[in-house]
Amino acid sequence: MQNTQLRDILRDAKAQLDKAESRVETDEVRVRFLGKKGRLTEILRSMGSLGAEERKRLGKLANDARIEIEGMLARKFEAVKAAEHALRFQAEAVDVTEPGTEFCIGAKHPITITIEEISRIFLHMGFSVTEGPEVETVFNNFDALNAAPNHPSRERTDTFYITDDTLLRTQTSPVQVRTLLAQAPPIKVISPGRCFRVDTADATHSPMFHQVEGLLVDEDVTMADLKGTLDVFAKRMFGAEVRTRFRPHFFPFTEPSAEMDMSCFKCGGEGCRVCKGGGWIEILGCGMVHPNVLRVGKIDTERYTGFAFGMGVERIAMLRRGIEDIRLFYENDMRFIEQFG
Ligand SMILES: [Zn+2]
């Protein structure tokens, strides 16, 4: 009878091991058959009541069964261990031959590059860079800059108002006012930034654009200093061979005011497409700071004078890089932007 029992035990052990899928499950099978209360252990224990001959015979059979089960367990442990490893390797596998996901790192925008180029030239001449907010007071944008109460640029058809007293600045010039209020002379700053005007976008106009403003206030500053500084700027920006000329103009915040032209950097002044045949290119507006503006900053106008200038960044970028439509700057088409970075 115990012969049959041993065969059943072997068959059950084999069946259960076949179903085990992990080391934990395999060990549970081991406990069920070979543990302290395991089925085979119980049989070995029950043999004490048998006669010597019978005990010897069955003892050998039981021992053979134990060895066989131990062998099966050992092979199963190896197998599930290998299977578990294989699963883990599969889960953690990296296919080094698979093509990677392309990572676009972008490029510096040509407006940023141009602002940096302009800033570097003025930094070398001892100017520092300062910035102001894009939402400004009407006072800083117009009143303090000596704009007449009925000046057309104040119209709602020209300027984006936030409230009656605040607006999107139409120029970087309000940074002059902020600087004059915050600093005592000598003052030597440039201020790049975004400006806004009500305008329909076309090849040369945009409701948002960039300017770089400049302000210098000190003792004995004259128009000659203004011309010398801006002439150096034009030569460093466009080439040592360019010449500059100043034409009288009008701005409320400077007196006298001027526009600066430079000889065409492309044709040298003979006339070409870039200069529209004239040989000269209009490049910026400038002038001696109006005493009314200096007085806003409580600056002694008997002792101090100053000059200011402002230029359009888009215009300079378009001239230097041969870009013909201002709208290209704002479309963020990488095929365009990457050409300059
Ligand atoms: Zn030209």
- Per domain, the residue ranges of the chain are 2-91, 110-337
Mean pLDDT value across residues 296-321: 94
d(CA 339, CA 329): 12
Ligand 1 midpoint to CA 263 (Å): 8
Least confident of 28-37, 99-108, 223-232: 99-108
Please check the confidence at residue 231 and state whether its pLDDT lies above 90: yes
110-337 belongs to which homologous superfamily? Bira Bifunctional Protein; Domain 2 (3.30.930.10)
Tokens of residue 264, six digits: 């065409």
Ligand 1 midpoint to CA 16 (Å): 93
Q: pLDDT tens digit string along 188-201?
A: 999 999 999 999 99
Ligand 1 midpoint to CA 307 (Å): 29
Nearest to 214 by CA among 192, 182, 243, 195: 192
Mean pLDDT value across residues 124-147: 95
Ligand 1 midpoint to CA 215 (Å): 30
Q: pLDDT tens digit string along 38-93?
A: 888 888 888 777 788 888 888 888 888 889 999 999 999 998 889 888 888 888 88
CB 288 within 8 A of CB 256: yes
Ligand 1 midpoint to CA 76 (Å): 88
Tokens of residue 193, six digits: 């930034």
Mean pLDDT value across residues 321-336: 91
Residues 6+ apart with CB under 8 A from 242: 234, 235, 262, 263, 265
Ligand 1 midpoint to CA 279 (Å): 5
Taking the model in full, what pTM does it have?
0.70
pLDDT interval class at 2 (50, 70, 90): low
Please check the confidence at residue 166 and state whether its pLDDT lies above 80: yes
Please check the confidence at residue 151 and state whether its pLDDT lies above 60: yes
Least confident of 75-79, 163-167, 221-225: 75-79
Ligand 1 midpoint to CA 284 (Å): 17
Ligand 1 midpoint to CA 281 (Å): 8
Ligand 1 midpoint to CA 268 (Å): 6
Ligand 1 midpoint to CA 13 (Å): 97
Q: Is the dihedral of CA 83, 89, 90, 95 positive or negative?
A: negative
Ligand 1 midpoint to CA 340 (Å): 22
Ligand 1 midpoint to CA 203 (Å): 20
Element containing residue 41 per DSSP (H, E): helix 39-46
Ligand 1 midpoint to CA 335 (Å): 27
Please check the confidence at residue 1 and state whether its pLDDT lies above 70: no
Q: For the chain, what percent of residues have pLDDT higher than 70?
A: 99
Please give the C-alpha separations between residue 338 and each of 59, 113, 243, in angstroms, as whole numbers.
Answer: 86, 12, 32
pLDDT at 101: 84
Neighbours of 37 (CB within 10 A): 9
pLDDT at 59: 83
CB 219 within 8 A of CB 303: yes
Question: Which ranges constitute the DSSP H helices of 92-222?
Answer: 110-124, 138-141, 174-182
Ligand 1 midpoint to CA 193 (Å): 29
Ligand 1 midpoint to CA 141 (Å): 35
| Average predicted confidence (pLDDT) for the chain | 91
Ligand 1 midpoint to CA 194 (Å): 29
